[in-house]
């Protein structure tokens, strides 16, 4: 990789604004170790997307931020055919955890993001009644609460056309990274296996014992298409960001759609990534 084929993009709003504090140390590090790599700090998502649209295909973009940063820029990254390296600096860093980057300091993660070979990872495409968005980490769909005096709002969950028993569960998680919320059992998460991991979790509380529905939620199901439909509005959270509620949610997997540094490494050794390795 030559210096001209990479650019660093810092999200000053990531981590509740704390990521902006990395501007000077990252700029100093790049000036010393990679003077050909520019550090940019766009003031808005639109400005960041505009930067990505003028980059040549296969340019490596080092994103300094969290899951929300990746989520906001994902469409532009995909459209431009860009490679991605990640330096975790957000409130939600599930993608970094899955890649093993959470064990690295920012300087170690920066070395890794710049130098590590990239590999393809899976991406999700979510469609609702109101919008269509890409995502990389995970989706949380919450069923509405109590309706009337006899039960909760009905909903249905299908994975690859097969209906799942949901019982009195209140939430379905679709994970492409290590989940943020508790699950009945550990999930075999891989970013590049061509599957997502779906799990129905949670109950309706202590009143559930009086409900007629006794179906047991399945702890885990892998698939490529998820469909959730409900009589009432479903609450949606995608890569840590809330979306407008919808009665219908469909998610399709886009296998190996994005090139990302670290997707080929099972376990990182932090001691390998120090400033002197540049």
Tens digits of residue pLDDT in 209-264: 333 334 445 567 899 999 999 989 999 999 988 999 999 999 999 999 999 997 65
Number of folded domains that form the chain: 2
| 30 within domain boundaries | yes
CB 208, CB 114: distance < 8 Å: no
Tell me, yes or no, whether 176 and 141 share the same domain.
yes
Using the 3D structure, point to which of 49, 81, 116 is the last residue of a domain.
Answer: 116
- Asked if 26 and 39 touch (Cβ cutoff 8 Å), the reply is yes
User: Which long-range contacts link 97-103 to residues 24+ away (Cβ below 8 Å)?
Assistant: 97/177, 97/178, 98/137, 98/177, 98/178, 98/189, 98/191, 99/191, 99/260, 99/262, 99/263, 99/265, 99/268, 100/262, 100/265, 100/267, 100/268, 101/262, 101/268, 103/268, 103/270
Report in angstroms the alpha-carbon separations of 44 from 34, 40, 48, 79, 103. Answer: 25, 12, 6, 19, 29
275 within some domain:
no
Q: What is the pLDDT of residues 144-201, one digit of tens each?
A: 765 444 455 688 999 999 998 887 778 899 999 988 766 666 777 888 999 999 988 7
Question: In this structure, is residue 195 part of a structural domain?
Answer: yes
Same domain, 101 and 154: no
Q: How confident is the model at residue 75 (pLDDT cuts 50, 70, 90)?
A: very high
| 25-35: pLDDT as tens digits | 999 999 999 99
Q: Mean pLDDT in the chain?
A: 84
Predicted confidence at residue 170, as pLDDT, reads 83
Q: What is the CATH classification number for the domain harbouring 147?
A: 2.60.200.30
Share of the chain above pLDDT 90, in %: 63
| 276 domain residue, yes or no | no
Q: What is the CATH number of the domain that holds 30?
A: 3.40.50.10330
pLDDT band at 90 (very low <50, low <70, confident <90, very high): confident
Domain limits at 93?
3-116
Is 50 exceeded by the pLDDT of residue 61?
A: yes
Residue, of 178 and 9, whose pLDDT is higher = 9
């Amino acid at each position: 990789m030559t210096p001209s084929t990479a650019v660093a993009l810092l999200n000053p709003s990531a981590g509740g604004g704390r990521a902006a504090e990395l501007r000077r140390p990252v700029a100093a590090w790049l000036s010393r170790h990679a003077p050909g790599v520019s550090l940019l700090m766009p003031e808005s998502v639109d400005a960041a997307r505009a930067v990505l649209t003028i980059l040549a295909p296969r340019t490596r973009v080092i994103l300094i931020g969290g899951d929300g940063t990746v989520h906001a820029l994902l469409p532009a990254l995909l459209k431009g055919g860009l490679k991605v390296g990640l330096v975790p600096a957000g409130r939600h860093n599930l993608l970094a955890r899955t890649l093993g980057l959470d064990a690295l300091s920012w300087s170690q993660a920066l070395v890794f993001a710049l130098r590590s070979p990239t590999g393809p990872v899976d991406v999700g495409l979510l469609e609702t009644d109101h919008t269509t968005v890409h995502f990389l980490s995970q989706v949380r769909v919450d069923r509405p609460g109590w309706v009337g005096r006899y039960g909760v709002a009905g909903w249905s969950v299908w994975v690859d056309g097969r209906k799942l028993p949901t019982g009195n569960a209140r939430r379905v998680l679709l994970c492409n990274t290590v989940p943020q919320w508790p699950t009945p059992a550990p999930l075999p998460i891989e970013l590049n296996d061509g599957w997502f991991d779906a799990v129905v979790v949670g109950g309706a509380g202590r009143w559930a014992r009086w409900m007629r529905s006794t179906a047991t939620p399945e702890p885990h199901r892998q698939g490529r298409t998820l469909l959730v439909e409900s009589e009432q509005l479903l609450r949606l959270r995608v890569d840590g960001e809330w979306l407008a509620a919808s009665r219908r949610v469909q998610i399709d997997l886009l296998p190996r759609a994005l090139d990302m540094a670290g997707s080929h490494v099972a376990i990182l050794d932090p001691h390998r990534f120090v400033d002197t390795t540049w």
